[in-house]
Structure 1
Amino acid sequence: MTDDRTPVDGPAPLDDPDDERAFARTARRPRSIDPPELGFTPRRPVPWLAPLLLISTGLRTLLAMLFGAYLDKRELQNSLEARIERQVGPDGGLWLDYVADLGDGFDATYSVAYLLAQPELTVDGHRLPRAQTLVMGGDQVYPSASYEAYEDRCKGPYQAALPVTPPERPTLFAVPGNHDWYDGLTAFLRLFVRSRDRHFGGWGTGQSRSYFAVELPAEWWLLGLDDQSGSYLDDPQLTYFDTVAKRLGPGSRVILAVPAPTWVKAVDHPTAYDSIDYFIRTIVAPTGARVRLLVSGDLHHYARYAGPDRQLVTCGSGGAYLYPTHHLPERIEVPPRDTLSRRASRSLPYDLAATFPDRARSRRYGWGVFARLPRRNPGFGTLLGTVHTLLMLAMAGVAAGRAGGTEQRLLSVPLVAMLLVTMIGAVFFAKPPSAGGKRHVRHWILGVTHGLAQVALAAAGTWAWLSVPLHDWPWPLPVAAAAVVYGPLIGLLATELVAAYLLVAAAFGVNVNELFAGQGIDDAKAFLRMRIDPDGTLTVYPVAVDRVARDWRPNPDGSPTASWLTPKEPLTPRLAEPPIVLEP
């Protein structure tokens, strides 16, 4: 390996490797899983439908959309060193790992980190040693970038998995995803792009900008792009890769790591793939080099599309909630024929070759929304219970008033307001304002239908409330009784109605993300372990874990490089599909 690394717990570099190993042996290991012992707080999975989180994430997304260009630090990176790294293993080949979408709940994130950090894995009869290079493919933290989130949800778990630098001195490279961009890339640059203390657990950080180029064995290259959620590639980045391109030739083969699988997203948004196509067409293709493999995260599953010239792999299963695979198209054309780019490359067909989880299991996971949605998002049920209680009180007030009287007209004002809140909330939940193209009408129809269903539930709840004597109690006892008795029950029923809506809407391609985000499924995780042989053969092993570990025990007496925590029940990785072999 090319870069000198410092031990993770060391305050300063140690020049003598023997001194470094001696320091590692004396490094303090935690004796419990308490945060003061670990140095970070293991976090629960993000409750994506929690009301405050929905508001916060929505505001951050809006600010990123409105001011993203002003917060874009990519032009400023032109002042940073433009390094081109080289990674070659001791045998002339290289083991390389790829993981993405990892900084969520501790159990899932650490399960994957633990497997990545082990000296060797035996998976379906294949012996897979720990990789010398690790690539993080985006969204290293959720729900948004901050110092605390990176420490607790990303860096902390990975340091616990590989506490100090092992003898092979592995190197880490990271591609920023949209969640890394929510603060304008500030925290990402401070964590992964450093001139000193260049370590991330036992991995050394190897990049000097938010994008990178790494020369690999046998004329393979690894290029990591930062396209800030599909925007134009900035001029300093293009200039950097122009310099890289001078070292490519007709015999070069490229692994291109990008933040999102735009080849799939282009099915509904034809311009999504344009920036990647532009990069390949103008930077790589003129050199005669070939992009043999595109890898990305962003969609939280494993999926591979095979085409005549390259493999398109999505592997965003590093820790974030599972995203379904049964909605993926069986065949795509890349670039899409209906792109607006007038100079797009020739469209080629790509067939869906493998997924993890498979389609049948993915559908079964979808049906779990009825149990998981209320359990994972109690705040969401509380919000629905509050809205329905207010709506019921408004309906009950109108029903108890005299027809046509002034009292009824006055009581109808809050009822109209609550009906509007319910309908508008349901319609916006289906996202019609931002929906475009082929599914715009579906969003509106499903949103309105969902709103009417919630109003019907409120009407049924009002009838039930008026059938019991609680509403006749002197004021304010009916309001208190409604909050204590009616609110929790109707909140649960409304949550189950939302679950039913999500299941139906997802069948039409609407709210698919919310169906699975609301469940927060920890299981079905995956990463890629790749081997480049000295003769240029690239073999991709998609390593999958059906069930993550949930019970951990400290390992205070382990070796310096041993993981701090070990699972009480062993993790059993397997291959998501047979190894993919790309011949030279």
Structure 2
Amino acid sequence: MSPAETGFVRQRPVPWLNPGLLAGTAVRVLLAYLFGGYLDKRELQAALPDRAYDHSAADELWFDYTADVGDGFDATYTIASLLARPELMLDDGRLLPRGDLLVLGGDQVYPTASNPAYEHRWKGPYRAALPDLAAVTPSLYALPGNHDWYDGLTAFLRLFAQGDTVGGWRTRQARSYFALELPHRWWLFAVDIQLSSYIDEPQLAYFGRVAERLTPTDRIILVPAQPSWVKTHDRPDAYDSVDYFIRTVIEPTGARVPLLLAGDMHHYARYTGPGPDGRGRQLLTCGGGGAYLVGTDHLPDAVAVPPEETITRRRSTPQRYERAAAYPSQQTSRRLGRRIFSRLPRRNPGFVWLLGLMQTLLMLAFVTSPDHLITPATVSGVVAVLVGTAVFTLVLGERTRKHMAAAVLHAVPHVALALGGAAAWSALPLSGLANPWATLLAFVVYGPVIGLADAWVVGAYLLVARYFDVNVNELYAGMGIEDHKSFLRFHLGRDGSLTVYPVAVERVAHRWRADPGGAPGSPWIVPEDPLHATLAEPPVLVDGPRGSTARNG
């Protein structure tokens, strides 16, 4: 089917380390850090409808959760097509009905939000996976992530807060945050923390009004946009907003929070512990909806939230949670990480050319200053390298002493490679040619070779840095691995118990065919080869029947 028929153009995965995108990402992160408050539209949403959305009528309910979805077509559509199936058959023969609700947990588009980006990277594929249904229309709710926020939430609100349909799904929310009333006194609260910021007053007032309906027997699924519980080792204040929300909005009602759920990190991971009431709490991350895989090998064995190190004046008592599951496994993640040397140059050719240009210029500076290594040209080149590694490590990552040290150490092998390259080039007959031929040949012959070598230097740095939890995201972004996807299918049973099925997809599809003659509501595009869905771990009982005091884990 042509783009004119489907309404969208299939997109390739975002090449995150290509120079233009890398620079744009750094600028957006910096602008968000400096001016994020000026882009905050959450206070303006106070004028929009503020109701909770009632899905409590049924005795039981199936619903789905996925996050980090709008990247390359193959991975995005693989997950969309599985979510859209009336019944999902797992490889073990288990049948899971399609969810009556679909909750998107953030980052519905990459690299930045805009109407065309949403259309081609998310809306079009999801519409093709589940065209208009004549009968029941599943509801769709979306929570914005940082990539949705980069345009100030303008495109996000146009798409998700107007009550429109996306194929067979219907959007219902009016704001960027929402509360869903589920059967058996379960609730889902999706909280918009903007760009890792505070929770605004209109949003607190909205959830405060909803909380007036809570009782001590109610149970809450709390959905922030980021799994802040695993980010506190570098940022002790990362969990403060979540802790404040639980402590001031939910706990006064006596209601419990058996599950915290977030995306943002592109894998599946589950931490479990007794929770504040001793009856069990799960901390669950599932960001496998389509974006590049981020491995799990850097995840801590246990987390304590809120952390002891936070300087928040008032906080809850720290609770310890042990890692119970991770997909892909840490062993698999380490194995995948070693593919950086082949995948980084192949997926990011522009990055290799940038490194080749930088190395060639620095080499020429050293070659033209054989007797004096410290010259304006060489100093400028070394400073440029330091600026580049600082941007790579500090702007794209965190800004701690550990990251500052990594930025400096990262520059050393690049400068050493340039010195070695200068010595090697000087020994070649080509270097003795008259200019401009010697310089021209340096860019044509030396540049591509040294660019590839320098890309391997970056790969080696990323492999080492991940053991110190530095630039982990860039390691996996550079590889752009589309496989190892995941989403969650929840079952709220007739007895009030909540079970989560963490669905895993080892391999995404890459070959597709059009199916315009299918039955109404069937997908427009189907895979050439069958998709295989398994469970990342056995089904997890989040909380037992209503009134049960059994601890879950």
Range class of TM-score, shorter chain: over 0.9
**What's the CA shift for 1:62?**
1.8
Partner of 1:445 in structure 2? Answer: 405
Q: Give the SS at the match of 2:444.
A: helix
Aligned mates of 1:572, 1:518 — CA distance in 2: 26
Contact 2:62 2:492 in 1 (8 A): yes
Could you tell me which amino acid in structure 2 is paired with residue 38 of structure 1?
A: T
Matching residue of 2:512: 552
1:580 aligns with 2:540: yes
Matched, 1:164 2:132: yes
Look up the equivalent residue of 1:508 and give its one-letter code: F
Work out which of the two has the higher radius of gyration on C-alpha atoms and give 1 or 2: 1
Partner of 1:98: 65
Give the counterpart letter for 2:298 in structure 1.
Answer: H
CA deviations 1:36-89 (Å, max 9, x no partner) are 232111111111111111111111222222222112111111111112111147
Give unpaired runs (5+ residues) of structure 1: 1-31
In the alignment, the residues of structure 2 paired with residue 239 and residue 422 of structure 1 have an alpha-carbon distance, to the nearest angstrom, of 49
Superposed, which structure 2 residues align to 1:160-309 within 5 Å? 160-165=128-133, 167-195=135-163, 198-308=164-274, 309=280
Residue 125 of structure 1 and its aligned partner are, at CA, apart by: 3.0
1:467–1:510 CA distance, 2 compared to 1 (3 A): same
1:456 and 2:416 are equivalent in the alignment: yes
Aligned to 1:421: 384
Q: Report Cα offsets for 1:134-158 as digits up to 9, x if no partner.
A: 0000011111111111111111111
Q: Is 1:432–1:444's contact at 8 Å kept on the other side of the alignment?
A: no
- 2:94 equivalent in structure 1: 126
User: Structure 1: which 4+ aligned runs deviate by more than 4 Å?
Assistant: 432-437
The 8 Å contact of residues 488 and 502 in structure 2, kept in 1 or not, is answered as: yes
- So what's the TM-score if we normalise by structure 1? 0.89
Q: 2: distance between equivalents of 1:216 and 1:358?
A: 33
Alignment counterpart, residue 299 of structure 2, candidates 316, 328, 338: 328
Is the 2:105–2:145 Cα contact (8 Å) retained in structure 1? yes
TM-score (ref. length: structure 2): 0.94
Q: Give the one of 371, 392, 401 matched to 2:342.
A: 371
**Is residue 29–residue 395 contact of structure 2 (8 Å, CA) maintained in 1?**
no
Q: CA offsets per residue over residues 540-573 of structure 1, 9 Å max, x none? A: 0000001100111111111121111111111100
C-alpha deviation, 1:433, in angstroms:
11
User: Equivalent residue for 2:355?
Assistant: 384
Deviation at 1:96, TM superposition (A): 0.5
| Distance in 2, Cα, partners of 1:477 & 1:433 | 38
Structure 1 residues 553 and 138: CA distance shift in structure 2, 3 A: same
Q: CA deviation at 1:127?
A: 1.1
Task: Provide the C-alpha distance between the structure 1 equivalents of 2:246 and 2:468, rounded to a whole number of angstroms.
Answer: 34
Asked if 1 retains the 8 angstrom alpha-carbon contact of 2:225 and 2:264, the reply is: yes
Task: Give 2:449's aligned residue.
Answer: 489
| CA–CA separation in structure 1 for the residues paired with 2:298 and 2:25 | 25
Deviations 1:457-480 (A, max 9, x none): 112212221222212222211122
Residue 29 of structure 2 is aligned to residue 58 of structure 1: no
Per-residue Cα deviation, 1:155-188 (whole angstroms, up to 9, x for no partner): 1111111111352210001111111111111111
SS of 2:293's equivalent? coil
Q: Which residue of 1 aligns with 2:434?
A: 474
3-state secondary structure, aligned to 1:518: helix
Q: Which one of 17, 20, 27 corresponds to residue 49 of structure 1?
A: 17
Query: Separation in 2 of the partners of 1:67 and 1:424?
Result: 22
Q: Which residue of 1 aligns with 2:494?
A: 534
Aligned counterparts of 2:318 and 2:376: Cα–Cα separation in 1: 57
Q: Determine the C-alpha separation between the residues in 2 that align with 1:138 and 1:421.
A: 35
The alpha-carbon deviation at position 427 of structure 1 amounts to: 3.7
Percent identity between the aligned chains? Answer: 54
- Contact kept in structure 2, 1:307 and 1:350, CA below 8 Å: yes
The CA distance in 1 between the partners of 2:376 and 2:224, in whole Å, is 52
Amino acid at match of 1:255: I
Give, as a single letter, the amino acid of the residue that structure 2 aligns with 1:414.
A
The alpha carbon displacement at 1:432 in A equals 8.3
Distance 1:444 1:252 in 2: 46
Q: Does the Cα contact within 8 Å between 2:263 and 2:286 map onto a contact in 1?
A: yes
Deviation (angstroms), 1:389:
0.9
Q: 1:237 to 1:427 in 2, by over 3 A?
A: closer
| Aligned counterparts of 1:57 and 1:547: Cα–Cα separation in 2 | 28
Residue 154 (structure 1) aligned with residue 122 (structure 2) = yes
Structure 2 alignment gaps of length 5 or more: 275-279, 546-553
- 2:512 touches 2:525 (CA, 8 Å); kept in 1? yes
Do the aligned partners of 2:29 and 2:396 also contact (CA within 8 Å) in 1?
Answer: no
Q: 1:283 to 1:161 in 2, by over 3 A?
A: same
Cα RMSD (Å) of the superposition? 1.6
| SS in structure 1 at match of 2:368 | helix
Distance 2:461 2:36 in 1: 33
Residue of 74, 77, 84 corresponding to 1:107: 74
CA distance in 1, matches of 2:32, 2:412: 33
2:310 — aligned with what?
Answer: 339
Match of 2:550 in 1: none
Residue 333 of structure 2 is matched in structure 1 by: 362
**Secondary structure of the equivalent of 1:314?**
strand
Instruction: Report the counterpart of residue 29 of structure 1 in structure 2.
Output: none
CA offset digits 1:487-515 (Å, max 9, x no partner): 11111111011101111111122111111
